[in-house]
Amino acid sequence: MSQIMPSARQRKMRTLLFWAVPAVLLLLPLATNPYTQFIANGMLVSVLVTLGFTLTIGNLGQLAFANTAFFGIGAYSSAILAAKLGVPWLLTIPLAGAFGALGGFLASAAALRGIRTYYLAIITLAFGELMRWAYLHAKPLTGGTDGMPMPRETLLGISLTDDTLKFYIFLAVTVLLVKATLNLMRSHFGRAVMAVRENEIATASLAIPTARVILATFMWSGFVVGCAGALFARHVGHVFPESFGMLHLIASFAMVLVGGLGSVLGAVLGAVLLTALPEYLRAFPGMEELFFGLIVAGVLVAMPMGLASLLRRVSPIFVERFYREAP
């Protein structure tokens, strides 16, 4: 089915909706308790992790699994900068993003050498495990198995352990990065990313520097997920190597697929659903995993293109530029 692109009026509505959602979310702390606020903060972290992941795996079409490595790099960079060098945590967010982008640069090396599909998957998985090994063994820097505690800090006289304050900071960072990514993917660059995914040789033959496109996408993905790592470090207050293993990678992958591969909207929906779901399923002790699995499988069977496809059917305002519809 061909996608119907939104009209100019619908695009205006979309912009309005984009800003209306965070505006309404500003009121969320009025309706939460400390527990639900903590979950909401976790959702915002997951949104950025999923967003970064879907860029490389969905938009660029590279089977790259270095996402958890970028996340760990971001979290540890933030913790080390804050705890060892006394850098204010807020300032560590873009710095963690920069280290994540550096991770993206390193991870793209394999893709730039023409390594693709399962081989790229294994190499990037190894990169993630190598980073986890580094967190465990660089004890003077990372704290080894004991991890890295985040230092106590205040902002405008409020402790950064306050979940409401964290929520507002997380929301601002998330909105900023989602908007920046949407703009990036709607630009000439987004068109080139899509072209590389569809036919790299044909793209190169049009004098488009495909290597630079791949590199920049990995770096932007690393930046977004690196920033998420800094938020995560403050969210949990203590960074452990175990947080950046295969389990996290699989959970992020599920969020990408449930939301809709390659869709920014899908990244948000998948992250929100799969972060909230385990918490709600706590009401069914002993059956959580079963229900979780059934719901994830059910969503993917009913909507192979993820939750975002449901909204696209409702209105063209949810159609994303350069998003690939179901074949």
Partner 1 sequence: MDTPEPLLKIRDLHVGYGKKPILRGASYDVVPGECLTLLGANGSGKSTSMNAICGFVRPSAGSVLFDGQETAGLPPHRIFALGIAQVSQARDLFPDLTVEDNLRLGAMRRGGKELAQTLAHIYDRFPRLKERRKQATRTLSGGEQQMVAIGRALMSRPRLLLLDEPSGGLSPQFCEEIARIIDTLKEDGVTMLMVEQNLNLAFRAADRFIVLRDGEVVDGGDVRAMAGDHDAIVRNIYL
**Binding stretches for partner 1 (CB under 8 A):** 2-3, 5, 188, 191-192, 194-195, 198-199, 201-209, 322, 324-325
What are the phi and psi torsion angles at 238 (to 5°)? Answer: -155, 125
Nearer to partner 1, 5 or 23 (CB): 5
Q: Nearest distance from residue 313's CB to partner 1, in Å?
A: 16
Q: Nearest distance from residue 318's CB to partner 1, in Å?
A: 16
Nearer to partner 1, 1 or 314 (CB): 1
Q: Nearest distance from residue 173's CB to partner 1, in Å?
A: 31
State how far the Cα of 318 lies from the Cα of 15, in Å rounded to an integer.
11
State how far the Cα of 49 lies from the Cα of 159, in Å rounded to an integer.
25
Q: Nearest distance from residue 112's CB to partner 1, in Å?
A: 15
What are the phi and psi torsion angles at 239 (to 5°)? Answer: -100, 120
Q: Could you identify the residue written with the tokens 């920033």?
A: 227
Q: Nearest distance from residue 69's CB to partner 1, in Å?
A: 29
The SS3 assignment for 284 reads coil
Calculate the alpha carbon distances from 26 to 29, 30, 160, 167, 182 in Å. 7, 9, 18, 9, 21
Cα four-point dihedral sign 32, 35, 36, 41:
positive
- CB under 8 Å to 284, separation ≥6 — which residues? 291
Q: Nearest distance from residue 100's CB to partner 1, in Å?
A: 27
Q: Could you identify the residue written with the tokens 């069914």?
A: 284
Nearer to partner 1, 114 or 237 (CB): 114
Q: Please name the residue ranges forming H helices in the chain.
A: 8-25, 34-54, 67-85, 89-112, 117-137, 139-142, 163-186, 188-198, 200-205, 210-236, 246-259, 264-280, 288-302, 307-314
The SS3 assignment for 152 reads coil
Q: Nearest distance from residue 309's CB to partner 1, in Å?
A: 14
Nearer to partner 1, 208 or 281 (CB): 208
Q: Nearest distance from residue 198's CB to partner 1, in Å?
A: 5
Nearer to partner 1, 179 or 324 (CB): 324
